[in-house]
A and B are shown apart, each in its own frame.
Chain A
Amino acid sequence: MASSKASRLGEDRRTRMDKVNAELVVLTYGTIVAQLCKDFDSDYVEVNKQLDKMGYNIGMRLIEDYLAKSNTVRRCSSFRETAEMIAKVGFKIFLNITPAITNWTSDGKQFSLVFDENPFADFVELPDDGRAQDELWYSNIMCGVLRGALEMVQMQVEAHFVSDVLRGNDTTEMRISLIRYIDDELPPEDD
Protein backbone atom coordinates (compact mmCIF):
# COMPACT_ATOMS: atom_id res chain seq x y z
CA MET A 1 0.00 0.00 0.00
CA ALA A 2 1.33 3.33 -1.05
CA SER A 3 0.72 5.12 2.21
CA SER A 4 2.53 2.67 4.47
CA LYS A 5 5.37 2.62 2.02
CA ALA A 6 5.59 6.37 2.32
CA SER A 7 5.68 6.06 6.11
CA ARG A 8 8.53 3.61 6.00
CA LEU A 9 10.39 5.81 3.58
CA GLY A 10 10.04 8.76 5.96
CA GLU A 11 11.27 6.80 8.95
CA ASP A 12 14.18 5.46 6.95
CA ARG A 13 15.41 8.74 5.63
CA ARG A 14 15.06 10.52 8.92
CA THR A 15 17.24 8.13 10.87
CA ARG A 16 19.93 8.49 8.28
CA MET A 17 20.43 12.18 8.88
CA ASP A 18 22.46 14.05 11.42
CA LYS A 19 20.42 15.22 14.33
CA VAL A 20 20.21 18.17 16.64
CA ASN A 21 18.42 18.55 19.91
CA ALA A 22 14.81 19.32 19.10
CA GLU A 23 14.72 21.91 21.84
CA LEU A 24 17.40 23.98 20.10
CA VAL A 25 15.24 24.07 16.98
CA VAL A 26 12.10 24.87 18.94
CA LEU A 27 13.74 27.62 20.98
CA THR A 28 15.31 29.09 17.86
CA TYR A 29 11.95 29.20 16.14
CA GLY A 30 10.49 30.79 19.27
CA THR A 31 13.11 33.50 19.32
CA ILE A 32 12.45 34.22 15.64
CA VAL A 33 8.71 34.65 16.18
CA ALA A 34 9.22 36.73 19.31
CA GLN A 35 11.68 38.97 17.46
CA LEU A 36 9.23 39.47 14.59
CA CYS A 37 6.48 40.40 17.04
CA LYS A 38 8.84 42.94 18.52
CA ASP A 39 10.07 44.32 15.19
CA PHE A 40 6.54 44.71 13.86
CA ASP A 41 5.18 46.03 17.09
CA SER A 42 2.79 43.10 17.56
CA ASP A 43 1.23 43.62 14.13
CA TYR A 44 0.44 39.91 13.94
CA VAL A 45 -0.91 40.02 10.41
CA GLU A 46 2.46 41.29 9.29
CA VAL A 47 4.23 38.70 11.45
CA ASN A 48 2.23 35.96 9.71
CA LYS A 49 3.36 37.35 6.36
CA GLN A 50 6.98 37.48 7.40
CA LEU A 51 6.88 33.92 8.70
CA ASP A 52 5.31 32.77 5.47
CA LYS A 53 8.00 34.56 3.51
CA MET A 54 10.77 32.97 5.57
CA GLY A 55 9.13 29.61 5.05
CA TYR A 56 8.94 30.19 1.32
CA ASN A 57 12.68 30.87 1.16
CA ILE A 58 13.33 27.75 3.17
CA GLY A 59 10.98 25.64 1.06
CA MET A 60 12.72 26.59 -2.17
CA ARG A 61 16.03 25.34 -0.81
CA LEU A 62 14.70 22.47 1.20
CA ILE A 63 13.13 20.73 -1.73
CA GLU A 64 16.51 19.71 -3.14
CA ASP A 65 17.48 18.32 0.20
CA TYR A 66 14.20 16.48 0.30
CA LEU A 67 14.62 15.04 -3.16
CA ALA A 68 18.14 13.92 -2.35
CA LYS A 69 17.23 12.44 0.98
CA SER A 70 14.07 10.71 -0.10
CA ASN A 71 15.60 9.46 -3.34
CA THR A 72 12.45 10.56 -5.06
CA VAL A 73 13.17 10.99 -8.68
CA ARG A 74 9.75 10.21 -10.02
CA ARG A 75 7.11 12.88 -10.11
CA CYS A 76 4.08 12.36 -7.93
CA SER A 77 1.33 11.01 -10.15
CA SER A 78 -1.45 12.91 -8.42
CA PHE A 79 -2.02 15.64 -5.91
CA ARG A 80 -3.18 12.92 -3.53
CA GLU A 81 0.20 11.26 -3.79
CA THR A 82 1.84 14.62 -3.25
CA ALA A 83 -0.13 15.00 -0.03
CA GLU A 84 1.05 11.58 1.14
CA MET A 85 4.67 12.47 0.44
CA ILE A 86 4.39 15.81 2.22
CA ALA A 87 2.85 14.34 5.35
CA LYS A 88 4.72 11.07 5.60
CA VAL A 89 8.10 11.86 4.16
CA GLY A 90 8.58 15.64 4.20
CA PHE A 91 7.27 16.35 7.68
CA LYS A 92 8.82 13.15 8.97
CA ILE A 93 12.25 14.06 7.69
CA PHE A 94 12.32 17.63 8.88
CA LEU A 95 10.11 17.77 11.96
CA ASN A 96 9.73 14.10 12.87
CA ILE A 97 5.97 14.29 12.82
CA THR A 98 3.35 12.83 10.52
CA PRO A 99 0.28 15.03 10.25
CA ALA A 100 -2.97 13.34 9.26
CA ILE A 101 -4.39 14.00 5.81
CA THR A 102 -8.12 14.73 5.86
CA ASN A 103 -10.97 16.71 4.36
CA TRP A 104 -10.30 16.20 0.68
CA THR A 105 -12.59 18.09 -1.61
CA SER A 106 -14.29 15.96 -4.23
CA ASP A 107 -12.19 17.44 -7.01
CA GLY A 108 -9.05 16.27 -5.21
CA LYS A 109 -7.55 19.73 -5.19
CA GLN A 110 -7.81 20.65 -1.52
CA PHE A 111 -6.94 18.80 1.65
CA SER A 112 -6.10 19.44 5.25
CA LEU A 113 -3.13 18.46 7.35
CA VAL A 114 -4.11 17.95 10.97
CA PHE A 115 -1.25 18.13 13.44
CA ASP A 116 -1.58 15.96 16.48
CA GLU A 117 1.73 17.22 17.66
CA ASN A 118 3.62 20.30 16.62
CA PRO A 119 7.17 20.61 17.87
CA PHE A 120 7.23 24.34 17.15
CA ALA A 121 4.42 24.88 19.64
CA ASP A 122 6.16 23.03 22.45
CA PHE A 123 6.16 25.28 25.54
CA VAL A 124 4.43 28.12 23.73
CA GLU A 125 1.71 30.27 25.19
CA LEU A 126 0.59 33.14 22.99
CA PRO A 127 0.70 36.65 24.45
CA ASP A 128 -2.33 37.40 26.59
CA ASP A 129 -3.06 40.71 24.87
CA GLY A 130 -6.53 39.98 23.57
CA ARG A 131 -5.28 39.92 19.96
CA ALA A 132 -2.61 37.28 19.48
CA GLN A 133 -5.05 34.41 19.78
CA ASP A 134 -7.21 35.93 17.06
CA GLU A 135 -4.50 37.14 14.71
CA LEU A 136 -1.22 35.28 15.06
CA TRP A 137 -0.63 31.95 13.31
CA TYR A 138 2.36 30.89 15.34
CA SER A 139 3.51 28.08 13.05
CA ASN A 140 2.85 29.99 9.84
CA ILE A 141 6.36 29.34 8.58
CA MET A 142 5.18 25.84 7.64
CA CYS A 143 2.72 27.24 5.10
CA GLY A 144 5.51 29.11 3.38
CA VAL A 145 7.73 26.05 3.37
CA LEU A 146 5.08 24.01 1.55
CA ARG A 147 4.38 26.81 -0.89
CA GLY A 148 8.06 27.30 -1.69
CA ALA A 149 8.92 23.63 -1.92
CA LEU A 150 5.99 22.70 -4.14
CA GLU A 151 6.59 25.63 -6.42
CA MET A 152 10.01 24.21 -7.17
CA VAL A 153 8.36 21.05 -8.39
CA GLN A 154 5.92 22.91 -10.58
CA MET A 155 2.96 23.07 -8.28
CA GLN A 156 1.45 26.35 -7.28
CA VAL A 157 -0.38 25.91 -4.01
CA GLU A 158 -1.98 28.07 -1.41
CA ALA A 159 -1.60 27.04 2.23
CA HIS A 160 -2.94 28.55 5.40
CA PHE A 161 -3.85 27.50 8.90
CA VAL A 162 -7.53 27.31 9.76
CA SER A 163 -7.15 26.35 13.43
CA ASP A 164 -4.45 26.09 16.07
CA VAL A 165 -4.53 24.67 19.58
CA LEU A 166 -2.47 27.68 20.64
CA ARG A 167 -5.53 29.76 19.81
CA GLY A 168 -7.72 27.57 21.94
CA ASN A 169 -8.96 25.45 19.02
CA ASP A 170 -9.24 21.71 19.51
CA THR A 171 -7.03 20.91 16.54
CA THR A 172 -4.21 22.41 14.56
CA GLU A 173 -5.18 22.27 10.92
CA MET A 174 -3.60 23.56 7.75
CA ARG A 175 -5.54 23.81 4.52
CA ILE A 176 -3.66 23.26 1.26
CA SER A 177 -5.13 24.03 -2.16
CA LEU A 178 -3.64 23.20 -5.52
CA ILE A 179 -3.97 26.23 -7.73
CA ARG A 180 -2.31 24.87 -10.84
CA TYR A 181 0.54 22.84 -12.25
CA ILE A 182 3.05 25.16 -13.82
CA ASP A 183 5.17 22.72 -15.83
CA ASP A 184 3.72 23.28 -19.29
CA GLU A 185 4.31 26.97 -19.25
CA LEU A 186 7.24 29.16 -19.94
CA PRO A 187 9.57 29.45 -16.97
CA PRO A 188 8.56 32.40 -14.80
CA GLU A 189 10.52 35.54 -15.41
CA ASP A 190 12.96 36.70 -12.78
CA ASP A 191 11.58 39.42 -10.57
Chain B
Amino acid sequence: MSYYFAIIGTQDNPLFEYEFGTSKQGGDGQARFSEQARHLNQFVLHSSLDIVEEVQWTNGQLYLKVIDKFFNNYISCFMTGGNVKFLLLHQPTATAAGATRNSTSVGANPTSPQTEEAIKNFFNEVYENYIKAIMSPFHKVNMEIRSPVFRQRVAAAGRKYL
Protein backbone atom coordinates (compact mmCIF):
# COMPACT_ATOMS: atom_id res chain seq x y z
CA MET B 1 0.00 0.00 0.00
CA SER B 2 1.39 3.37 -1.03
CA TYR B 3 0.15 6.81 -0.06
CA TYR B 4 0.50 10.26 -1.51
CA PHE B 5 -0.60 13.05 0.82
CA ALA B 6 -0.99 16.69 -0.14
CA ILE B 7 -2.29 19.84 1.48
CA ILE B 8 -3.95 22.11 -1.05
CA GLY B 9 -4.53 25.80 -0.40
CA THR B 10 -7.61 27.85 -1.14
CA GLN B 11 -6.26 28.81 -4.56
CA ASP B 12 -5.70 25.12 -5.38
CA ASN B 13 -2.02 25.64 -4.71
CA PRO B 14 -0.04 22.84 -3.04
CA LEU B 15 1.19 23.75 0.45
CA PHE B 16 2.75 20.45 1.39
CA GLU B 17 3.38 17.04 -0.17
CA TYR B 18 4.52 13.78 1.28
CA GLU B 19 4.51 10.23 0.03
CA PHE B 20 4.88 7.14 2.12
CA GLY B 21 4.02 3.48 2.32
CA THR B 22 2.13 1.47 4.86
CA SER B 23 3.73 0.56 8.13
CA LYS B 24 1.08 -2.05 8.88
CA GLN B 25 1.48 -5.78 8.21
CA GLY B 26 5.23 -5.49 8.22
CA GLY B 27 5.31 -2.65 5.70
CA ASP B 28 8.51 -0.63 5.70
CA GLY B 29 6.82 2.76 5.32
CA GLN B 30 8.25 3.29 1.84
CA ALA B 31 6.05 4.34 -1.04
CA ARG B 32 6.10 1.99 -3.99
CA PHE B 33 4.99 4.36 -6.70
CA SER B 34 6.66 4.03 -10.06
CA GLU B 35 8.17 7.21 -11.45
CA GLN B 36 5.28 7.34 -13.90
CA ALA B 37 2.69 6.89 -11.17
CA ARG B 38 4.30 9.69 -9.24
CA HIS B 39 3.50 12.19 -11.97
CA LEU B 40 0.08 10.74 -12.32
CA ASN B 41 -0.59 11.02 -8.57
CA GLN B 42 -0.37 14.78 -8.68
CA PHE B 43 -2.66 14.87 -11.68
CA VAL B 44 -5.19 12.52 -10.10
CA LEU B 45 -5.21 14.44 -6.87
CA HIS B 46 -5.63 17.72 -8.59
CA SER B 47 -8.46 16.53 -10.79
CA SER B 48 -10.38 15.44 -7.71
CA LEU B 49 -10.53 19.05 -6.54
CA ASP B 50 -13.60 19.62 -8.69
CA ILE B 51 -15.40 16.93 -6.79
CA VAL B 52 -14.30 18.39 -3.49
CA GLU B 53 -15.95 21.64 -4.51
CA GLU B 54 -19.22 19.85 -5.08
CA VAL B 55 -19.12 17.89 -1.88
CA GLN B 56 -17.89 20.63 0.42
CA TRP B 57 -21.15 22.57 0.35
CA THR B 58 -23.40 19.62 0.96
CA ASN B 59 -21.41 17.95 3.71
CA GLY B 60 -20.21 20.06 6.62
CA GLN B 61 -18.03 17.36 8.12
CA LEU B 62 -14.33 18.02 8.14
CA TYR B 63 -13.66 14.45 7.07
CA LEU B 64 -15.31 13.76 3.73
CA LYS B 65 -14.00 10.19 3.33
CA VAL B 66 -13.30 8.77 -0.13
CA ILE B 67 -14.49 11.37 -2.61
CA ASP B 68 -12.97 10.08 -5.82
CA LYS B 69 -11.55 6.99 -7.44
CA PHE B 70 -9.36 6.72 -10.50
CA PHE B 71 -8.60 3.13 -11.50
CA ASN B 72 -6.91 1.74 -8.44
CA ASN B 73 -6.36 5.14 -6.84
CA TYR B 74 -8.65 6.23 -4.03
CA ILE B 75 -8.77 9.84 -2.87
CA SER B 76 -9.79 10.64 0.69
CA CYS B 77 -10.44 14.22 1.67
CA PHE B 78 -10.46 16.34 4.81
CA MET B 79 -11.49 20.02 4.71
CA THR B 80 -10.22 22.43 7.32
CA GLY B 81 -12.39 25.24 8.64
CA GLY B 82 -10.37 27.60 6.47
CA ASN B 83 -11.21 25.56 3.36
CA VAL B 84 -7.79 24.10 2.94
CA LYS B 85 -7.91 20.54 1.67
CA PHE B 86 -6.02 17.55 2.95
CA LEU B 87 -6.01 14.92 0.21
CA LEU B 88 -4.73 11.39 0.59
CA LEU B 89 -4.31 9.21 -2.43
CA HIS B 90 -4.13 5.56 -1.49
CA GLN B 91 -3.31 2.83 -3.86
CA PRO B 92 -3.63 -0.73 -2.62
CA THR B 93 -0.92 -2.87 -4.22
CA ALA B 94 -2.43 -5.13 -6.86
CA THR B 95 -1.52 -8.33 -5.06
CA ALA B 96 -2.80 -7.20 -1.73
CA ALA B 97 -6.11 -6.17 -3.24
CA GLY B 98 -6.49 -9.42 -5.11
CA ALA B 99 -5.31 -11.87 -2.51
CA THR B 100 -7.20 -10.54 0.45
CA ARG B 101 -10.33 -9.13 -0.99
CA ASN B 102 -12.24 -9.63 2.20
CA SER B 103 -9.49 -8.53 4.45
CA THR B 104 -10.29 -5.74 6.84
CA SER B 105 -6.70 -4.60 7.00
CA VAL B 106 -6.12 -0.95 6.30
CA GLY B 107 -3.95 -1.68 3.31
CA ALA B 108 -6.27 -4.03 1.52
CA ASN B 109 -9.66 -2.43 1.45
CA PRO B 110 -9.73 1.33 0.78
CA THR B 111 -13.38 1.79 1.66
CA SER B 112 -13.79 -0.49 4.67
CA PRO B 113 -14.87 1.19 7.93
CA GLN B 114 -11.51 0.28 9.42
CA THR B 115 -9.66 2.06 6.67
CA GLU B 116 -11.98 5.05 6.90
CA GLU B 117 -11.34 5.26 10.61
CA ALA B 118 -7.57 4.93 10.20
CA ILE B 119 -7.48 7.69 7.61
CA LYS B 120 -9.68 9.86 9.80
CA ASN B 121 -7.23 9.47 12.67
CA PHE B 122 -4.37 10.29 10.35
CA PHE B 123 -6.12 13.44 9.11
CA ASN B 124 -7.05 14.55 12.62
CA GLU B 125 -3.49 14.30 13.78
CA VAL B 126 -2.24 16.20 10.76
CA TYR B 127 -4.95 18.82 11.37
CA GLU B 128 -3.74 19.44 14.88
CA ASN B 129 -0.22 20.02 13.64
CA TYR B 130 -1.46 22.10 10.75
CA ILE B 131 -3.27 24.43 13.16
CA LYS B 132 -0.09 24.85 15.16
CA ALA B 133 1.68 25.83 11.95
CA ILE B 134 -0.92 28.41 10.94
CA MET B 135 -1.16 29.93 14.43
CA SER B 136 2.25 31.53 14.03
CA PRO B 137 1.89 35.26 13.41
CA PHE B 138 4.30 34.92 10.51
CA HIS B 139 2.17 32.36 8.75
CA LYS B 140 0.10 33.78 5.93
CA VAL B 141 -2.78 32.19 4.07
CA ASN B 142 -1.68 29.73 1.41
CA MET B 143 1.91 29.80 2.56
CA GLU B 144 3.83 26.60 1.96
CA ILE B 145 4.55 24.61 5.10
CA ARG B 146 8.26 23.93 5.03
CA SER B 147 8.95 23.08 8.65
CA PRO B 148 10.88 19.80 8.93
CA VAL B 149 9.18 19.26 12.28
CA PHE B 150 5.79 19.39 10.60
CA ARG B 151 7.00 16.86 8.05
CA GLN B 152 8.20 14.58 10.83
CA ARG B 153 4.82 14.90 12.49
CA VAL B 154 2.98 13.92 9.30
CA ALA B 155 5.34 10.99 8.84
CA ALA B 156 4.72 9.89 12.41
CA ALA B 157 0.94 10.07 11.93
CA GLY B 158 1.33 7.96 8.79
CA ARG B 159 3.33 5.33 10.64
CA LYS B 160 0.91 5.30 13.51
CA TYR B 161 -2.35 4.89 11.61
CA LEU B 162 -1.61 3.76 8.07
Q: Point out residues on A near B: beta carbons under 8 Å.
A: 27, 30-31, 33-34, 37, 123-128, 132
Query: Which residues on the B side are within 8 Å of A126 (C-beta)?
Result: 138
Query: Which residues on the B side are within 8 Å of A33 (C-beta)?
Result: 137
The winner among A37, A125, A127, A128 for most chain B CB atoms within 10 A is A125
Contact A123–B146 (Cβ < 8 Å): no
B152 at the interface (CB under 8 A from A): no
Query: Which residues on the B side are within 8 Å of A34 (C-beta)?
Result: 137-138
Contact A123–B138 (Cβ < 8 Å): no
Contact A127–B138 (Cβ < 8 Å): yes
Task: Closest B residue to A31 by CB, please name it.
Answer: B137
Give A45 to B133 CA distance when docked, in angstroms. Answer: 25
Query: Which residues on the A side are within 8 Å of B147 (C-beta)?
Result: 125, 128
Q: Which 9 A-B pairs have the closest CB atoms?
A: A30-B137, A123-B135, A34-B137, A125-B136, A127-B138, A124-B136, A123-B136, A33-B137, A34-B138
Interface size on B, residues (CB 8 A): 9
**B143 CB to closest chain A CB, in angstroms?**
10
B132 at the interface (CB under 8 A from A): yes
Interface class of chain B by DSSP: loop
Query: Which residues on the A side are within 8 Å of B139 (C-beta)?
Result: 125
**A167 CB to closest chain B CB, in angstroms?**
14
Give A31 to B146 CA distance when docked, in angstroms. Answer: 21
- The contact sample of 21 A-B pairs, CB cut-off 8 A, is A27-B137, A30-B136, A30-B137, A31-B137, A34-B137, A34-B138, A37-B138, A123-B132, A123-B135, A123-B136, A124-B138, A125-B133, A125-B136, A125-B138, A125-B139, A125-B147, A126-B138, A127-B138, A128-B146, A128-B147, A132-B138
Give A99 to B138 CA distance when docked, in angstroms. Answer: 26
Query: Which residues on the B side are within 8 Å of A125 (C-beta)?
Result: 133, 136, 138-139, 147
Query: Which residues on the A side are within 8 Å of B137 (C-beta)?
Result: 27, 30-31, 33-34, 124
Chain B, 126-162, CB within 8 A of any chain A CB: 132-133, 135-139, 146-147
Give A34 to B136 CA distance when docked, in angstroms. Answer: 10
Give A155 to B136 CA distance when docked, in angstroms. Answer: 36
**B146 CB to closest chain A CB, in angstroms?**
6
**A38 CB to closest chain B CB, in angstroms?**
10
**A121 CB to closest chain B CB, in angstroms?**
10
Contacts A123-B135, A123-B136, A128-B147 known; list 7 others, CB within 8 Å: A34-B137, A34-B138, A124-B136, A124-B137, A125-B138, A125-B147, A132-B138
Give A123 to B137 CA distance when docked, in angstroms. Answer: 8
Query: Which residues on the A side are within 8 Å of B132 (C-beta)?
Result: 123
Give A156 to B138 CA distance when docked, in angstroms. Answer: 34
**A23 CB to closest chain B CB, in angstroms?**
9
A interface footprint on B7-47 (CB within 8 Å = 1, 0 otherwise): 00000000000000000000000000000000000000000
